[in-house]
């Protein structure tokens, strides 16, 4: 599929399928500039859908840069809402798929990108040299993988919440600019930190922005930084006309942010910002001020000290994650594994919960990241693997560990009910649902649409439980 993508995306115009009647732009419904046109069906494949944001100034009189988005769950409008303000200001078209997915056995992202790429080119006046990819979580990894396979067709990548699909991918010869984002409580935070160091050593054209949040698309302010970065790199690479005034304004924004970091006691962040400014704007404007300020901060030693302390914390956290993984592997491999409460204690869940409420910000963040990793493994990846093997006992065991991370949250018991239902155990699923309701679960409509309950949906016991839950009896 990736080789096919190389062939398709290297073309400057979409080709027609055999026996397909060509359709001109005039025959397609027009899209309104200044807003989001939602749930558009691709002409060549109606199963593929996407949404589009057009800036208010959009017209067919010129060609526009475009960012294609791959959300991990096909939530097409989420990235459009995060990036639309910046796209409006900077003049980007945004196109986002409803068919992109993460954590699937097949590859839905290549056909999703292929379909919306071709359809958007049929509908809109797009700059063939400035087609960018952006994805979240697994969509971020897919975006990088596609760009590595088709560097001549993809001008850059904005990867959010995850790094490269291939951790050993060479970065010294990275043929496209890369902007990464990650929340400070994201389960993939350590991966993005390591990628930052790797790209810095390779002197690649990149930036990685960290924001206050978890595993999610970046906030609007960081979305704007990503598009600004793409604009600046396009000027440097000759993909758009040079604009000295615009470059100078963006450069000044970097200097102002560096100054704000320094005033807030973050010389390490200030130094990183200044180094990026020197690299990105050198040749577009005079970078003497950024270079001088970077040299001053470097000589002081404070930035280096803070960065060493951060790397030490990262190493300690990675060590704890390794020990957690080893404990999980050992316990789950036993013929008679411990119950969830015992395993949660062995994994250090109570201590992690206490650290997550610590007065020390660094300790609090470390605990939050480790918990996010543990929750992802025990709340999704491991139970999915066990359920596929028909091992409900171990699926419930790891889901019980995930529930112990936040025992007051009814989501833990609801997820246990989903696992029981998928295995066809009606009495156990109903007990799990009873506990979820007792803890405050009220979204009964979600059960109606949840495919996890399909196996037991027709069972009279399940139907009675739903009726009683709705009537409060």
- Measured CA to CA, the distance from residue 343 to residue 358 in angstroms comes to 23
For the chain, give the percent of residues with pLDDT over 90: 88
HSE of 131, CA atoms in CB hemisphere, 13 A: 29
Token representation of residue 93: 């078209």
CA distances (Å), origin 217, targets 40, 129, 223:
22, 25, 9
Parts of the chain with a pLDDT under 70: 1-29, 170, 473
pLDDT at 472: 80
pLDDT in tens, 381-401: 999 999 999 999 999 999 999
3-class DSSP state for residue 415?
helix
φ/ψ of 218, rounded to 5, equals -70, 160
CA distances (Å), origin 389, targets 312, 343, 386, 432:
39, 21, 5, 21
Helix (H) or strand (E) holding 311: helix 302-332
Q: Is domain 338-471 annotated with CATH 1.25.40? A: yes
pLDDT at 11: 37
The radius of gyration of the chain's CA atoms, rounded to the nearest angstrom, is 25
> In 282-425, which residue ranges form alpha helices assigned H by DSSP?
288-300, 302-332, 340-346, 349-356, 361-376, 382-388, 392-405, 410-422
Q: Where are the domains of the chain?
A: 2-10+28-241, 338-471
3-class DSSP state for residue 211?
strand
- Measured CA to CA, the distance from residue 135 to residue 70 in angstroms comes to 4
pLDDT in tens, 216-272: 999 999 999 999 999 999 999 999 999 999 999 999 999 999 999 999 999 999 999
pLDDT at 28: 60
- Selecting from 3.40.50.300, 3.40.50.1820, 3.40.190.10, 3.40.1190.20, what CATH number does the domain 2-10+28-241 have? 3.40.50.1820
Answer yes or no: are the C-beta atoms of 163 and 195 closer than 8 Å: yes
Of 310, 281, 297, 309, nearest to 210 by C-alpha is 310
> For the chain, how many residues are written?
473
pLDDT at 166: 81
């Amino acid at each position: 599929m990736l080789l096919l993508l190389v062939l398709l995306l290297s073309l400057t115009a979409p080709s027609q399928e055999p026996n397909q009647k060509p359709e001109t732009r005039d025959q397609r419904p027009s899209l309104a500039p200044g807003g989001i046109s939602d749930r558009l069906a691709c002409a060549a494949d109606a199963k593929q859908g996407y949404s589009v944001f057009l800036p208010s100034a959009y017209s067919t009189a010129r060609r526009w840069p475009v960012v294609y988005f791959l959300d991990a769950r096909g939530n097409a409008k989420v990235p459009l809402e995060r990036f639309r303000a910046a796209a409006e200001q900077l003049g980007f078209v945004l196109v986002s798929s409803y068919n992109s997915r993460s954590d699937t056995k097949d590859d839905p992202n290549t056909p999703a990108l292929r379909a919306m790429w071709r359809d958007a080119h049929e509908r809109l006046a797009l700059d063939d040299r400035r087609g960018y990819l952006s994805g979240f979580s697994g969509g971020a990894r897919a975006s990088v993988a596609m760009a590595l396979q088709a560097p001549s067709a993809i001008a850059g990548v904005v990867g959010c919440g995850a790094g490269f699909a291939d951790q050993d991918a060479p970065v010294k010869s990275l043929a496209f600019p890369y902007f990464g984002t990650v929340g400070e409580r994201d389960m993939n935070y350590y991966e993005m930190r390591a990628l930052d160091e790797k790209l810095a050593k390779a002197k690649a054209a990149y930036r990685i922005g960290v924001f206050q949040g978890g595993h999610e698309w970046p906030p609007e302010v960081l979305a704007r930084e990503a598009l600004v970065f793409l604009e600046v790199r396009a000027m440097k690479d000759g993909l758009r006309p040079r604009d000295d005034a615009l470059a100078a304004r963006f450069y000044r924004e970097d200097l102002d942010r560096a100054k704000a970091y320094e005033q807030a006691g973050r010389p390490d962040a200030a130094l990183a910002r200044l180094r990026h400014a020197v690299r990105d704007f050198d040749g577009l404007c005079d970078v003497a001020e950024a270079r001088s300020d970077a040299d001053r901060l470097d000589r002081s030693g404070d930035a280096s000290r803070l960065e060493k302390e951060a790397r030490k914390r990262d190493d300690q956290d990675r060590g704890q994650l390794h020990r957690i993984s080893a404990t999980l592997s050992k316990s789950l491999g036993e013929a008679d594994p411990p119950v969830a409460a015992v395993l949660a204690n062995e994994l250090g869940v109570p201590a992690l919960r206490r650290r997550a409420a610590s007065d020390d910000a660094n300790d609090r963040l470390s605990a939050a990241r480790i918990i996010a990793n543990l929750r992802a493994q025990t709340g999704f990846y491991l139970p999915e693997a066990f359920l596929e093997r028909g091992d409900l006992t171990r699926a419930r065991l790891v889901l019980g560990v995930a529930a112990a991370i936040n025992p007051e949250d009814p989501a833990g018991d609801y997820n246990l009910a989903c696992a029981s239902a998928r295995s066809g155990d009606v009495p156990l699923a109903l007990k799990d649902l009873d506990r979820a309701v007792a803890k405050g679960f009220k979204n009964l409509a979600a059960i109606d649409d949840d495919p996890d309950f399909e196996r037991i949906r027709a069972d009279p016991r399940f139907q009675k439980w739903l009726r009683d839950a709705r009537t409060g009896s």
